[in-house]
Amino acid sequence: MVQQMAQVGKLLIGLWMAGVTIVMFLVIPQYEGLGNAGRIIIMHVPTAWVSVLAFAISAIFSGLYLWKRNPTYDDYAVAAAEGGFLFTALATVTGMIFSQVVWGIYWNWDPRQTSIFVLLLIYAALFALRSAIDDVQRRRQLSAVYSLFAFVTVPFLIFVAPRIADSTLHPNCVFIQGSTCDGITLDVGKIGLLGDRKIQLIALEREGDLVTAEVIVSEPGLSSETTLRPSFNLATGTMADRPEFPGVRYQLGLEYVDPSITSGLLNIEAPGTGVLDNRITLFTFLASIAGFTALFFWMLNLRANLLGLQWALAQRDGGRV
């Protein structure tokens, strides 16, 4: 009966994820300016979420092992850490694909990319530690302690570190529904930083109700300069023309102009803003989170049972696990 339920569960998860994939590629609309590249968010964000969940579960089972000394808890701790590592790698790969399409580069040692890379190294070290210790009890104990300390770094590396640095290719405010970027207000002739780019407001020119800004944008590392001309409609109080930053799909928007036409609020805009506004897209996104979460728990149980079986066989044969 249990095996039959497991088979049914596996089938349902497979059908669920197949349905999510089909809807992601064939049903949900393309994002204006991002095209098909925006669809990868349906996979990227859920895999990142599951990786955090997996590392948390690994830490919980590690704590339970140190408390109860039950080998089964160690099996689940290891299985969860392996799952977290796998889903972190998937989130990294999908993020690199999106980065190439939107920002023009797969890898730039962006703060978020760097923090994910460090996280992968931390948990790779856990697996190396386990493989280097022959004594089973000592291996389990040390890896459980390591897992607890490793998880302490997860919230910092995932949620804190990427937001400390000003220079980043990953401005969440552009893509997360309902959020806003702060932008920067500059007087004519002044220089400021917008993301990882230096900008200088050269002039504000008014023609009727339309105010056009002349802005010099310096690329990261001050490698090159480009002049962009965003505009603002005074009559409607809305942005007009929003030119793209060189080589990427972000746009420079003029969000507000002082009545004296001496200063303006410049901000990063993106055609992907509010990617979850579409109801079908939102439901598919939530279904993807549910599907990947169910897939992880199925993998967790399967892997933990295999580790337990491996241990039992090794005990019977007198070998090393």
pLDDT digit string, tens, across residues 284-295: 889 999 999 999
- Sketch the domain layout of the chain as residue ranges: 2-165+279-317, 176-269
CA atoms within 13 A on the CB side of 177: 10
Higher pLDDT, 107 or 293: 293
Say if pTM beats, i.e. exceeds, 0.85: no
| Range of weakest confidence among 43-57, 132-146, 157-171, 250-264 | 157-171
What integer best gives the mean pLDDT of the chain? Answer: 83
Are 91 and 51 contacting, i.e. CB atoms less than 8 angstroms apart? yes
DSSP label of 249: S
What backbone torsions phi and psi does residue 223 show, to the nearest 5 degrees? -75, -30
Average pLDDT over residues 165-194: 65
What's the mean pLDDT in 57-78? 96
- pLDDT value of residue 32: 54
Cα distance between residue 130 and residue 219, in whole Å: 45
